[in-house]
Amino acid sequence: MKIPFLKPALVMGSALILASCGSGSPKIVSTPIANIDSIPLKITDLSETQLKGWGGADLMTDTIPGMSVEKAYSEIIKNNKGQKTIVAVIDSGVDIEHEDLDGVIWTNSDEIPGNGKDDDNNGYIDDMHGWNFLGDAVEENLEYTRIYKRLKPKYEGKTASSISTADRAEFIYYQEAKEEYEKEYEETVQNRNQYEQIKKQLVAAHQAVSSQLGKENYTKEELNKMEASGQMAQYKGMLQQIQNNVNENIPEALEELDEGIEYYANRLETHFNLELDGRAPVGDDPYDITDTDYGNANVMGPSEDKEDLKHGTHVAGIIAAERNNNMGINGVANNAEIMVLRAVPDGDEYDKDIALAIRYAVDNGAKVINTSFGKYFSPNPEWVTEAIRYAEKNDVLIVNAGGNEGLNLDENTVYPNDQNPEAPQEIADNFLTVGALNYDYGAQLVADFSNYGKTNVDVFAPGTKIWSTTPNNEYEYLQGTSMAAPAVAGVAAIIRSFYPKLSAAQVKQVIMDSGLTTNADVIVGGDRNNTQDFKELSTSGKMVNLYNALILASQTK
């Protein structure tokens, strides 16, 4: 559905003059952003500068559905800084030497570096910046691959009628994992083969046309003007499709194809490889929660090129990359420290690692935990559930990515989550699940990949094409609910910094209640035939907005 042109803006009430209620908090003389359905749609493409910073843009002034971060800094936060807030990033690891992150990495002041002792008696030796629960492990299976592989010797060839009552539930779980494995394995093989076939055809077309035009880097205009017949006309048509839909620069399009082929090939070698024992370098029993003496203090892991740190480094930058240091990007939070917990391999995370990482974060001072990962099979969800409740008991907020399959999470279970499988209520009030927004304000407001759900997703935040830190002092666009969650974690860190007396549950509620909503119908799951009321896609029905959140936090007792 196309959203109609919208009327001039309306604002709510008169200016609010509010005294601060937290240490170092700014005094707020501001009016909340209200009726966004009154603004016109943006009809021009974003410039490179706008795209790189769109997550912090203001919908009212920029017509870009960001979180009004820059507006909040210019009008409310200014140069104020509250308490230091530790944000734990449970992820693939973080490049703690990055130029835009090295000044915001948490340091355990109670630990003496490199002495081989547990100086602070927290159970972890030399944990200066967090903990690496993966040790030297990098490559790993997906969870359903592990389940299928582990239970295959017991159940292969068996039928339901031959299974004892005691084993019935496990047998069904095995069958579900096997079915998912076989389906995803076959799709991955098909995708790899399709990419290889396209590349073969594209290389032939490119070589022929390059020879006729006398150059490798020809433009759309040059290709359109080229006379062609027979086989050459077919080559021209294929290249025109690539230029219009993938990349005008054909050599770059070929590089992108190679990346796709490599991606699917790597998945076959790791995610679906029944012979891979990805846990072997760790040396623990991942199915024994009492086996906790494992891992090491090297939060950057074993890879020299740091490539496997890309995801975690990108997440950390969104939250807290150093602001106004004349390089890179500005993170959302200006007074946060990143605690690094390496627990997500190249494959699915283990429930034990996640549960212990959450407990480490809680015990060592984190007030916000970011969990930008997820899976649809979980052998021991109770361990993670208990850790979430432990965080709740100790007043720690968990900000969680909703997932990237375009699914309704009210009908599909993803882990981790805060849902009670036997009752409608949540297991805890400190768990905030985030869906992803697109920068295109209108019918495509929700990212086509984003999961959603009136009960199981709480809010939406920027998650499409987000510019942030990547290893080795580089920056890159990545996208996913993995990028939306840290944007909200940054908002939570600012609120906890300026208003430390607010509980985790209150901060969650402030973020949900203060967001912006729209009455528009939006495309869901990338399916143009599936449009739904934006307000029905999450519990709050809102987009996170830092500016409004600070105003509401200042009013919350």
Residue 414 contacts by C-beta under 8 Å, 6 or more apart in sequence?
A: 374, 375, 376, 402, 403, 407, 451, 456
In the residue annotation, 62 being an active-site residue is answered as no
H and E: helices and strands count for the chain: 14, 13
CA–CA dist 436, 416 (Å, integer): 17
Residue among 311, 348, 521, 540 flagged as catalytic: 311
Q: Which long-range contacts (CB under 8 A, 24 or more apart) does 388-392 make?
A: 388/358, 388/416, 388/418, 388/427, 388/428, 388/430, 388/431, 389/427, 389/428, 390/358, 390/359, 390/362, 391/358, 391/361, 391/362, 391/428, 391/430, 391/504, 392/428, 392/429, 392/430, 392/431, 392/504, 392/505
Helix (H), strand (E) at residue 148: helix 143-155
Residue among 30, 378, 468, 482 flagged as catalytic: 482
Name the β-bridge partners of 506.
Answer: none
Give the orientation angle of helix 481-498 with respect to helix 504-513, to 10 degrees: 120
C-alpha distances (whole Å) from 516 to each of 103, 132, 271, 368, 455 are 33, 38, 39, 23, 18
Q: Are strands 85-91 and 336-342 parallel, antiparallel or unpaired?
A: parallel
In the residue annotation, 92 being an active-site residue is answered as no
Sign for the CA dihedral angle at 315, 356, 410, 267 comes to positive
Q: Are strands 368-371 and 397-401 parallel, antiparallel or unpaired?
A: parallel
- Any alpha helices (H) in 270-327, and if so which ranges? 310-320
Name the β-bridge partners of 296.
Answer: 132
CA–CA dist 463, 243 (Å, integer): 26
Name which of 91, 138, 105, 132 is nearest 372 in CA terms: 91
CA–CA dist 40, 25 (Å, integer): 34
Residue among 58, 91, 126, 353 flagged as catalytic: 91
Please identify which residue in the block is written with the tokens 């054909």.
250
164: which 2 tokens? Answer: 């004892």
In the residue annotation, 311 being an active-site residue is answered as yes
* 3-class SS string, 183-230: HHHHHHHHHHHHHHHHHHHHHHHHHHHHHHHCCCCCCHHHHHHCCCCC
Q: Read off the amino acid at residue 132.
A: N
174: which 2 tokens? Answer: 């095995």
Active-site residues: which are they?
91, 311, 482
